[in-house]
Amino acid sequence: MITDTRRGDWLRPRAGGWATAGGVAGTGFAAYARVLHPLDARCHDIAVTDGWGMHPVVEERRWRWAEVAARRGRHLHPRVQWTRLTGAEPPESFETDDGWAVGPPEEGQLDTDVLAALTEHLGPATTTPDDLVAAVWDGWGDLNGSSATASFFIGEPSEEDIREQQRSDAERALRSAAVQRGLQGPVFEWPGRSFHLMAASTRLFADPTWLDTADLETWPGAGHTPQMLWPEDRAWVLATEIDWDATIVAGSRDLVERIVADDRFEAFEVGVDDDLSWAGDVVDRA
C-alpha cells in the first residue's frame, strides 16, 4: 500500500471535464488513446434445446467491436458506444440470428491480457517502469466490506453441504478482514471517486495471470485491475473509469500512435475534451 497520497497531487489539478479523456486521465498530455474492452462471445446451437429449455454452447471466442458493427451495419469510430452500436440501452449482449451472444464489454475493469499487451508500450515509454502508482476504486464491495453472498442448493442440502458452505463462508470472512486491514489509511481523492494507492511495476502487469497469483502483500486490490496507473516520472496515465467499457491511455504522441497501430487492440485516438459518454456517439445515434 501507498499511504502517502501526495504522490497523486501532481495529477489532481489536471482533472478535466466530466465524461472526457482528460476527466479520467488528466489534461496536459500530448495525445490520448481510447482502448475498447474486448467482447466475450458464445455461440449456441439454436436447433437443440436441453431439459432446462437452454441451447447448448458450441463455441466460445473473443469478438471485436468491428464484427458487431459489421453485423449491425454501423460504424466503428473513436467515440463509439456499445449502446449505440447494438441499439440496446442499458448495455446488454448482442444476439445474432445464428446463435451468437456477444458481450457486453466489461465496465471498470481492464482485461489482464490487454493490460499485459499494453505494458509492451507503456514500459519503454517511462524511465521508471518499476515504480508505478496504481489506484484502485474504494467502492468495490469486496474491498470495502459491503458485498454480500448468497448460497443456493438444489433440493435439501446435506450436512456435508452445510459444513462445506460454513467453511467457505469462514474463509471468505477471513480474507475480507485481511483485505480491510491491508487497505487502512488515507485515500486518493479524484473528482467523484476515491482510490486506494498501491505500488506496482510494468513487470507485474506483463503477466496476464498476475491476478491469479498475487497475494495481499504484492497486490492488496484483491482481484481488481487498477482504475488509474502512472509511473513516477509522470510520462503517462492509464485510466479505466468504473462506468466505462474502454480504457484511456494519456501520454506522448509516439506512445499513443504505437497503441493505436497495434492490431491486438481496438484503439482510437481521441481528444482530451471529447464527449465519451453515451450521448457523445452522434454517429450511430439512430
Query: What does the pLDDT look like over 113-140, one tens digit per residue?
Result: 999 999 999 999 999 999 999 999 998 8
Q: What's residue 155's pLDDT?
A: 55
Query: What does the pLDDT look like over 173-226, one tens digit per residue?
Result: 545 454 555 556 789 999 999 999 999 999 999 999 999 888 766 676 678 999
Q: What's residue 195's pLDDT?
A: 95
φ and ψ of 245, to 5 deg: -105, 25
Percentage of the chain with pLDDT > 70?
Answer: 84
Query: Which residues sit opposite 61 in a β-bridge?
Result: 41
Query: What does the pLDDT look like over 73-108, one tens digit per residue?
Result: 998 999 999 999 999 889 999 999 999 999 999 999
- For residue 5, name the pLDDT band (cuts at 50, 70, 90): very high
**Whether residue 244 has pLDDT greater than 80:** yes
Q: What is the pTM of this model?
A: 0.85
* Summary mean pLDDT of the chain: 87
Residues in the chain: 286
Torsion-angle region of 14 (φ positive above 0: left; ψ -120 to 50: alpha; else: beta): alpha
φ and ψ of 276, to 5 deg: -105, 20
Q: What's residue 149's pLDDT?
A: 46
Helix (H, G, I), strand (E, B) or coil at 83: helix
Torsion-angle region of 44 (φ positive above 0: left; ψ -120 to 50: alpha; else: beta): beta
Contact 241, 24 (CB under 8 A): yes
Which strand ranges, in their side-by-side order, compose the sheet holding 31-36?
Answer: 188-190, 193-200, 132-137, 228-231, 237-239, 246-251, 31-36, 267-270
100 vs 166 pLDDT, higher one: 100
How large is the average pLDDT for residues 236-258? 98
Mean pLDDT highest for which of 30-44, 48-62, 168-182?
30-44
Closest CA to 93 of 80, 103, 105, 84: 103
**Whether residue 235 has pLDDT greater than 70:** yes
Contact 224, 136 (CB under 8 A): yes
Q: What's residue 160's pLDDT?
A: 77
Listing DSSP states for 179-243 in one string gives HHHHT-S--EEETTEEEEEEEE-HHHHTSTTHHHH--TTT-TTSS---SEEEETT---EEE--TT
Contact 222, 216 (CB under 8 A): yes
The mean-pLDDT minimum among 235-239, 268-272, 282-286 falls in 282-286
Closest CA to 19 of 281, 194, 257, 234: 281
Q: What's residue 82's pLDDT?
A: 97
Contact 69, 102 (CB under 8 A): no
Q: What's residue 150's pLDDT?
A: 45
11 vs 161 pLDDT, higher one: 11
Distance of CA 185 to the CA centre of its chain: 24
Helices (H), the chain: 21-25, 65-72, 82-86, 112-122, 141-144, 159-182, 202-205, 210-213, 253-261
Q: What's residue 191's pLDDT?
A: 95
Q: What's residue 147's pLDDT?
A: 47
Contact 27, 16 (CB under 8 A): yes
